[in-house]
Amino acid sequence: MTGLKTKPSNCLKLDAETAADLMRENPVSIAESAPLQEAIALLTEHGFSAAPVIDKAGRPVGVLSRSDLITHDREKNDYAVPEPVYHHDLETLAGHAGGSTKGYQIVNVDRTRVREIMTPAVFSVTPKTPVDTVVREMLALAVHRLFVVDESGVLVGVISSTDILRRLR
């Protein structure tokens, strides 16, 4: 049997032909103009590590990841120093709050918009892109997800590395 190569019986095969077979349709996305707090709530609520950022027309303009959020939090110079509260102010406050100053705190609201901290790179394929191209692109770009866009560039789906693993047989 020299020269004959046989396929091992334990080979994995990707049970899909195109990006459309792999993608999750109508992905949860974040508007580029959304406040950062809204984006954090969305990622946390859904348990996502990242989400596509879209413009008003629904076209992807970037991605917001937990890494972007951590970097933003580390880099912001936001050291809110409360103004001193003097004794006579506490008496006034206590009079308006039913004799108690409990429950009052200074909140420094982060007014950052998603577009300010997102990663502005968009790696996309079309629904008709062959799966071997999808996998090659993800490996070459070293990314965990690709966006799937229609002919007009509107986001119609997302393919994550987990989506690919789910289709291995």
Q: In what order do the strands lie in the sheet with 145-149?
A: 24-25, 155-160, 145-149, 124-125
> How would residue 89 be classed by pLDDT, with cut points 50, 70 and 90?
low
129-154 confidence digits (pLDDT tens):
999 999 999 999 999 999 999 999 99
**Domain assignment present for 12:** no
Span 90-119, mean pLDDT?
69
**Domain assignment present for 62:** yes
How does DSSP assign the chain, residue by residue? -TT-----TT---B--SBHHHHPEES---EETTSBHHHHHHHHHHHT-SEEEEE-TTS-EEEEEEHHHHHHHHHH------PPP--HHHHHHHHHHTTT--TT---------BHHHHSB----EE-TTSBHHHHHHHHHHHT-SEEEEE-TT--EEEEEEHHHHHHTB-
Contact 167, 16 (CB under 8 A): yes
Domain total in the chain:
1
User: Mean pLDDT lowest for which of 16-20, 68-72, 103-107, 161-165?
Assistant: 103-107
What CATH number does the domain containing 157 carry?
Answer: 3.10.580.10
Closest CA to 158 of 66, 41, 49: 49
What's the whole-model pTM score? 0.74
Place of tokens 């502005």: 120
Domain that includes residue 115, residue range? 19-75+86-166
**Domain assignment present for 4:** no
User: Mean pLDDT lowest for which of 13-22, 108-117, 124-133?
Assistant: 108-117
**Domain assignment present for 3:** no
